[in-house]
Structure 1
């Protein structure tokens, strides 16, 4: 919106650099990165609680934490953008696959879904539903809306209002998916911490009753 209203502030240039979601190193980028890192931190706590309670899936929780830590880093420095041009040129991609990183990302998502299927089915119903809904929203926005954005860019260009609208929907839906997942992780942590067996404090020998 700042781009099309041409709002100028002396000494600051345009507000676009601070708030436009399709740029790097600005407020939306930091916000998304922090959200993803909170998910990583929360999943690590869940993994620790799961291990303490004897939950067999504690390693899955740990790996989930590492995956979200990577996603947080990727959101901050745009690692996936580095493969766009090499993939597009080597595979002669265009149109819906103009942003060629989705070609590598979609198979990885499928592998992740298969690897975590049993883990997902072992979770309580509410956690399972929350994970599925948040995952569909996040992946649908990140990959699905990215492909829609590729078509819009081909038709109207990067500087167009339609592309700005698609980017806004994409980033907003990604944030929504992460927030929902963070809530599900918080519930999972509370559940597992509540099931952690209480440890019996050791009694020093001099305090034993005669």
Structure 2
């Protein structure tokens, strides 16, 4: 039995979901800064449900599921490469990494590094939110370890991987640094900071979505005879 997953349609639907969540978050920000005392239960519920700066809500579940979907596709590629007698450990390693990132998105593991990193390095300015310091170190190590692997990818897939990585890291690290610098001076209860963390989450979700699209495209390209037929939409 075969079924088709049209990769361009999947990407479009993912971005529709992202845009809807961002609009919901902007509405939550409006309520947060324009509802005196947050007295209404409905208002508090909407903020809790849609704010991308809170845990265990719709944006969190969406991001975690997309990242978990990336992990599943990576495991699928690893299995396919193993079946073809090719090297598969790099794909399996990436799958494990994305399982961790998905879990981190859900339960905020990285926040546990903030206090010890701030105490260790006495951080301020761009490094005010110091949790990402060990994460950046890991990313650099992985970049070196995976360089040759990346260079062997088809050019189109490599470009999509790079685009996804730039989007995700720009949000998770770049905007986090700028947000930290702002928060140190003005605090975290400002409309500017709210807009900054909104853009941060938009970049992260976009990176995960583009990577999902890239993986489906690679599966379509490499495993044409596999039982699950991933087909491109004709445009």
TM above 0.5: yes
2:34 corresponds to 1:5 = yes
Higher RCO (CA < 8 A, seq sep 6+): 2
Deviations 1:106-125 (A, max 9, x none): 11111111111111110101
User: Which structure: larger Rg?
Assistant: 1
Partner of 2:55: 24
Q: How does 1:75-154 map to 2 (within 5 A)?
A: 75-154=105-184
Alignment check: 8 A CA contact 2:117 2:131 kept: yes
Alignment check: 8 A CA contact 1:131 1:181 kept: yes
2:69 corresponds to 1:38 = yes
Q: Report the Cα offset of residue 26 of structure 1.
A: 1.1
Structure 1 CA distance for aligned equivalents of residues 211 and 41 of structure 2: 40
List runs of 5+ in structure 1 lacking aligned partners: 197-210
Q: Of the candidates 169, 173, 178, which is equivalent to residue 208 of structure 2?
A: 178
Please give the root-mean-square deviation of Cα atoms over the aligned residues, in Å: 1.6
Deviations 1:118-160 (A, max 9, x none): 1111010111000011101101110111000001101221110
Structure 1 CA distance for aligned equivalents of residues 203 and 197 of structure 2: 10
Alignment check: 8 A CA contact 1:137 1:176 kept: yes
List runs of 5+ in structure 2 lacking aligned partners: 1-28, 227-235
Alignment check: 8 A CA contact 2:126 2:177 kept: yes
Alignment check: 8 A CA contact 1:39 1:65 kept: yes
Q: Report the Cα offset of residue 4 of structure 1.
A: 1.5
Q: Report the Cα offset of residue 10 of structure 1.
A: 4.1
Q: What is the SS of the residue equivalent to 1:194? A: coil
Partner of 1:51: 82
Distance 1:11 1:178, change over 3 A: closer
Partner of 2:196: 166
Deviations 1:72-130 (A, max 9, x none): 00000000100101110122112211111121111111111111111111010111000
Q: What is the SS of the residue equivalent to 1:54? A: coil
TM-score normalized by the length of structure 2: 0.79
Q: Report the Cα offset of residue 52 of structure 1.
A: 1.4
Alignment check: 8 A CA contact 2:74 2:94 kept: yes
2:46 corresponds to 1:15 = yes
Structure 2 CA distance for aligned equivalents of residues 80 and 185 of structure 1: 26
Distance 1:90 1:10, change over 3 A: closer
